[in-house]
Amino acid sequence: MQRIPFTKEGLEKLKNELDHLLKVERPKVIKAIEEARAHGDLSENAEYEAAKERQAFIETRIRELQDKIARADVIDTSRLDTSKVVFGATVRLFDALDGSEKVFKLVGPEEADVDNGRISVTSPVGRALIGKRVGDEVIVKAPGRTLEYEVLEIRFD
């Protein structure tokens, strides 16, 4: 069984989603199926079909979450070298190309959400940042362009 690296917050988010599906969504869809069955002929019952599709989606997601939680390997950042960029670090960068600052948190592939500043340690930027210290320059060769950053701050929150 391959372990999946997670931050403490990332694992908590999965557990919360699983809890919601088990305690709220699953009972709701079971009730919807029962109500649709009460309408009689199931062969042309759109409500029944929609509820069954929703149930299949929910059950699949529950299994996925249970599997990820079972394989989760929570990385304790308090035991890591905090003077350099490692898994779980939040990094503030200066973008040399446009003069802006960017903030990224390095997380496992399952937690990555670029729109919210959470990048995977296996992404090109994530790989380039690992091991860097404040003041280090980071050059990332991305498809169609080269990115240049300077590490301004490393923190663990």
Note the pLDDT tens digit of each residue in 49-69. 899 999 999 999 999 999 999
Count of domains forming the chain: 2
pLDDT attached to residue 78: 79
Lowest mean pLDDT among 24-28, 44-48, 127-131: 44-48
Same domain, 39 and 90: no
Residue where a domain terminates, one of 14, 46, 74: 74
Domain that residue 108 falls in: 77-155
* Helices (H), ranges, 21-88: 26-37, 46-71
Same domain, 45 and 103: no
* Of residues 9, 1, 23, the one with CA closest to residue 108: 9
Confidence of residue 42 (pLDDT cuts 50, 70, 90): low
| pLDDT beyond 80 at 41 | no
Decide: 96 and 152 in contact? Cβ < 8 Å.
no
Residue where a domain terminates, one of 44, 74, 104: 74
Same domain, 101 and 139: yes
Same domain, 39 and 87: no
Q: What is the mean pLDDT of residues 10-37?
A: 95
DSSP string, 73-140: EE--GGGS-TTS--TT-EEEEEETTTS-EEEEEEE-TTT-BGGGTEEETTSHHHHHHTT--TT-EEEE
Residue 68 buriedness (CB in 10 A; 0-12 / 13-18 / 19+): middle
Same domain, 59 and 110: no
pLDDT attached to residue 36: 86
Same domain, 22 and 37: yes
Same domain, 52 and 99: no
Amino acid 136 reads: D
What does R_g of the chain's alpha carbons equal in angstroms?
22
Same domain, 105 and 145: yes
Residue where a domain terminates, one of 29, 54, 74: 74
Note the pLDDT tens digit of each residue in 127-147. 999 999 999 999 998 888 899
Q: Is the pTM of this model over 0.85?
A: no
CATH number at residue 103: 3.10.50.30
Same domain, 36 and 106: no
Note the pLDDT tens digit of each residue in 95-138. 999 999 999 999 999 999 999 999 999 999 999 999 999 999 99
The angle formed by the CA atoms of residues 131, 135 and 137, to the nearest 5 degrees, is 70
Confidence of residue 11 (pLDDT cuts 50, 70, 90): very high
Confidence of residue 38 (pLDDT cuts 50, 70, 90): confident
CATH number at residue 61: 1.10.287.180
Instruction: Quote the tokens at residue 109.
Output: 């592939």
Decide: 7 and 54 in contact? Cβ < 8 Å.
no
Same domain, 88 and 43: no
